[in-house]
Amino acid sequence: MALPPAIRNGSPMENHPLFSRRLLVSAGLASVLAGIAMPAQARARAEGPAGELAALPPGTILISQSRKRLYLTQSSGAVLSWPVAIGRGGRAWSGWASIEGKHVRPAWSPPAEVKRDHPRLPQVIAGGAPNNPMGARALTLDRREIAIHGTTAAMRASIGTAASYGCIRMLNEDVIDLFDRVSVGTRVLAGR
């Protein structure tokens, strides 16, 4: 396997071991994707193109349920990556979706399932409130009540776990970075 030639900011490739990851990319198709992590300007980690990630059109989001990472393909062939929290206990979704809306500090109304589990939640939590689970930004998807969104200070530790009711949860600083890189209509693929 060839290593990606680029090293951002001239930094050495120390602490960037090769790794492999399995993702369900389409029905019945599981492939091994290989890459190497490299430092990046933003908080996103840049990764070399590999497997299906390299085959996806630039600007496509890929969510790996098993690695609990969100990948964004770039026109240069690079792939940016951020850690995420995914749906817990059978609530993770897979398949294709599209970004339907972009929202800054959105208000949040708990879906019926969340309200049933947490009946003391208010009907609406104002945008920007410290207890608003949508955080700093939300990218709503064309799937019912599913979004890629930020988090509260209290939920930061959930990133990298299976913790949500189906949404993709990111650190606020990461979702702001992603929000600025994508547009309405961006395709999103979630796989194992």
Catalytic machinery residues:
149, 167
Structure tokens that stand for 107 in this block: 């208000």
Distance CA 175, CA 170 (A): 6
Task: Please report which helix (H) or strand (E) contains residue 163, including its range.
Answer: strand 162-164
25: Cα within 13 Å, side-chain hemisphere: 17
The CB-side HSE value for 87 (13 A sphere, CA atoms) comes to 18
Nearest C-alpha neighbor of 45 from the set 35, 34, 33: 35
Between the CA of residue 155 and those of 161, 181, 189, what are the distances in Å? Answer: 11, 24, 24
Q: Which two tokens stand for residue 135?
A: 């955080």
Tokens 């090769």 belong to which residue? Answer: 18
Token digits of residue 140: 């709503």
